[in-house]
Structure 1
Amino acid sequence: MNKEAASDRSLPRLGVLWFEVLAGTTAWFVHLILVFGLSWLACVAGWADRRVLSISLVDALVAVTTLICGAVTLLALLWAWHHLKQYGGIGPESQLPDHDQPDDRAARTRFMALFAVYLNAISLLAILAQWVPAFYLTGCD
C-alpha cells in the first residue's frame, strides 16, 4: 500500500483511534469498580438471598457488568484490528513509518491501531479473569 492509497480522507478520524486505544482500559477500570462496588453494596444491603432468573442478584450484577464491559472492549479490539489490517500494519508487506515525513498520518494510524489491539486484548483478558471468581464464589462468600 503506497501513501497515495492511504490518503488522509480514507484514514479514520483521530477520535476513533483514541476510542480504540482507551475503550478497553476504561471498560476494564469501570468493570473493576462496578463489580467490587456493586457486589459489596448488594452484600451490605442484604440482597445476597434475592434471585433473578434463579441466579443470585449479586451474580447477576457481576455477569451483566462483565458482559457489557467485555462487549465494549471486544468492539474496540475488532475495530482496531480492522484498521490495522486495512492500513497495512500486519504481515510481511507492512509498511514502516517514513521518518522523512514529520506528519505521516498513515503511520500514526498503524501505530495506534497496533497499540489498541494489544491493549484491548490485555484488557479483555483482565475483564474475563475478574469474572472467573464468580463461577466459584456465589453471592457474598
Structure 2
Amino acid sequence: MKLNELPPKTLIKQAHAGVKLITEQYPDAAAILRETVTRFDVLCEVHQQTQKQRDELADDAEYLKMRFKEADLLFGKLMLAMRAAVIESEHGAGPIAGISWIFNTLHGPNEFAPEAEKNAQEYFDRESEIIDAEFSKCMDFFTSRRSKSCNGGGDAK
C-alpha cells in the first residue's frame, strides 16, 4: 500500500509511532516529525469539520430551494385559479360560476378571510399594506446585493 492510499487517521497513528521509535536516537528529527504530524492531524480535523459544514449548507440550500419551489407552485396555482375564474365568468357559465373557482381554491387549504370581515376593499387595503411592506424589504435586499455586485463587492447575485 502506498503512503497516499493510507487513511489520514492510520497515517497519523503510524507517524506518532515513528516519532516514539526515533526520539532517543534522533531527537531533533523526532521533534520536527511530531510537530508535522500534529499539524497534519489538526488540518485533517479542520478538513472534516469543513466537509461537515459544507454538507449541512448543501442540505440547507436544498431545503430552501424546495421551499421556494413550493411557494412558486402555490402562487402559480392561485394565478391559474384566478385566470380560470375570469375565463368561466366571461366565456362560461358566468360570474357566479367564475367565483366558484376562487372559492374552491381557497376552500381547499381553508384560506378564507376571517368571518368578521365585511368590507372587501378595507380588508384588501389593510392586508395589502402588510404584504407590500414585506415585499419592499425583499426588493431592498435584492437591490443592495445587485449594487454590491455591480460595484465589485464579490459574488452577489
- Fold shared, TM-score > 0.5 on shorter chain: no
Normalized against structure 1, the TM-score is what? 0.29
Normalised TM-score (structure 2): 0.27
Structure of larger gyration radius: 2
The structure where helix makes up a greater share of residues is 2
